[in-house]
């Protein structure tokens, strides 16, 4: 690993931290300065990835394999949260989650979930025990099969247009027309049209009710990360199986895999990345590390495709804030409360790396 964290204590002389940073460079490492704090820097920022994936799993939104496939697809994570848990060892990882949760005096954003505690108790610790979130044979993961795409297609599609993110709808429009399916242009869908929505942060049920659409024919597709890699198709308990199959077949056009998930505010990738950005903003707000060091440490230490503050700016701080506000409203929990750092920079239209004024 190219990263080294330099953590001075409250009484550490400044020259000591400078000397350790120089030593790190001589060891071909990239030093980052981190104020003494539970979990230091990388493990602190990493509190979003696995715990939020566990929350998604416990709600029955998707399986471990499908969550991993979604997050290693268009978002670009090198390893999924459940494969990572098996690699590290669920016994080790769960102990770390509990420790950090306790050290931050039960901070809701860091809450562990019973799904890992149960595996620890059962001795299912991951690769080293031959089973964890996945099963292993001769040290190699047994990959659960992907649900094949049906051949069904809708007769026509009506797309709920958005004034907030019209640019994200372009790939959907191109896919529908490229598949030779009629795209309806009316103000309301016809009686047999598949209804497609592209919500950002919102769950499909709420979007259906807000727009007064027919739930049986409505599905949602995640467009925030583009339409490459596994496409995430979201349905509700009211979605008619006929329209679910037709939507699956349509969005699997051109051989792209499609993963169908149950209803969730923020799909899967949206909410995981928004939580990563939010926790990193909390690190910046507490002055634990400088914004540039937060991004550098995350990329070098966790191999994320972007630093979290950088990622937030790519999507737009206001969009990340909207996802978190939808999550907080839906669940009514402080787990998703937006960081003051994020809220201020979103309101002022400033980059997330903008330092405090003093």
157 and 182 Cβ atoms separated by less than 8 Å: yes
pTM: 0.96
Q: d(Cα 85, Cα 125) in Å, to the nearest integer? A: 8
Q: d(Cα 293, Cα 290) in Å, to the nearest integer? A: 5
Q: d(Cα 6, Cα 349) in Å, to the nearest integer? A: 32
Q: Is 235 helix (H, G, I), strand (E, B) or coil?
A: strand
Beta bridge partners of 221: 233
Separation in Å, CA 243 to CA 152, 236, 239, 356: 9, 12, 7, 50
Q: d(Cα 309, Cα 154) in Å, to the nearest integer? A: 40
Half-sphere exposure in the Cβ direction for 345 (13 Å, CA): 28
- Write out the chain's pLDDT in tens, 358 residues: 899 999 999 999 999 999 999 999 999 999 999 999 999 999 999 999 999 999 999 999 999 999 999 999 999 999 999 999 999 999 999 999 999 999 999 999 999 999 999 999 999 999 999 999 999 999 899 999 998 999 999 999 999 988 888 889 999 999 999 999 999 999 999 999 999 999 999 999 999 999 999 999 999 999 999 988 899 999 999 999 999 999 999 999 878 899 999 999 999 999 999 999 999 999 999 999 999 999 999 999 999 999 999 999 999 999 999 999 999 999 999 999 999 999 999 999 999 999 998 6
**Exposed, middle or buried: residue 310 (CB in 10 Å: 0-12, 13-18, 19+)?**
buried
Tokens 């770390």 correspond to 96
Q: Which residues contact 100 (CB under 8 A, 6 or more apart)?
A: 38, 39, 43, 44, 47, 110
Torsion angle, alpha carbons of 74, 78, 80, 82, to 10 = 180
Q: Which residues contact 38 (CB under 8 A, 6 or more apart)?
A: 44, 99, 100, 103, 104
Q: Is 159 helix (H, G, I), strand (E, B) or coil?
A: strand
Do the strands 156-159 and 194-197 form a parallel or antiparallel pair, or are they unpaired?
A: parallel
């Amino acid at each position: 690993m190219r990263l080294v964290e330099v953590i001075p204590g409250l009484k550490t002389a400044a020259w000591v931290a400078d000397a350790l940073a120089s030593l790190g460079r001589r060891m071909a490492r990239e030093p980052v300065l981190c104020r003494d704090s539970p979990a230091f820097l990388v493990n602190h920022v990493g509190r979003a990835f696995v715990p939020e994936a566990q929350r998604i799993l416990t709600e029955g939104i998707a399986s471990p394999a499908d969550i991993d496939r979604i997050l290693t697809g268009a978002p670009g994570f090198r390893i999924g949260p459940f494969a990572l848990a098996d690699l590290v060892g669920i016994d080790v990882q769960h102990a770390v989650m509990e420790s950090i949760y306790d050290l931050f005096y039960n901070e809701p954003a860091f809450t562990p979930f019973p799904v890992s505690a149960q595996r620890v108790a059962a001795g299912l610790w991951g690769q080293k025990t031959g089973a964890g979130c996945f099963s292993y044979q001769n040290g190699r993961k047994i990959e659960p099969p992907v649900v094949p795409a049906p051949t069904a297609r809708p007769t026509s599609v009506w797309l709920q247009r958005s004034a907030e993110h019209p640019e994200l709808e372009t790939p959907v429009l191109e896919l529908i027309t490229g598949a030779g399916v009629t795209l309806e242009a009316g103000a309301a869908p016809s009686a047999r049209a598949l209804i497609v929505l592209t919500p950002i942060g919102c769950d499909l049920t709420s979007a259906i009710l807000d727009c007064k659409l027919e739930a049986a024919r409505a599905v949602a597709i995640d467009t925030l990360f583009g339409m490459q890699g596994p496409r995430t198709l979201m349905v509700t308990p009211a979605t008619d199986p006929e329209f679910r199959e037709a939507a699956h077949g349509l969005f699997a056009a051109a051989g792209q895999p499609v993963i169908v998930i149950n209803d969730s505010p923020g799909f899967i990738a949206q909410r995981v990345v928004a939580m990563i950005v939010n926790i990193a903003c909390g690190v910046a707000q507490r002055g634990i590390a400088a914004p540039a060091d937060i991004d550098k440490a995350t990329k070098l230490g966790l191999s994320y495709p972007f630093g979290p503050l950088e990622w937030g700016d790519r999507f737009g701080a206001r969009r990340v804030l909207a996802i978190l506000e939808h999550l907080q409203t839906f669940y009514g929990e402080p787990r998703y409360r937006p960081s003051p750092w994020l809220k201020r920079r979103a309101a002022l239209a400033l980059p997330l790396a903008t330092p405090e004024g003093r």
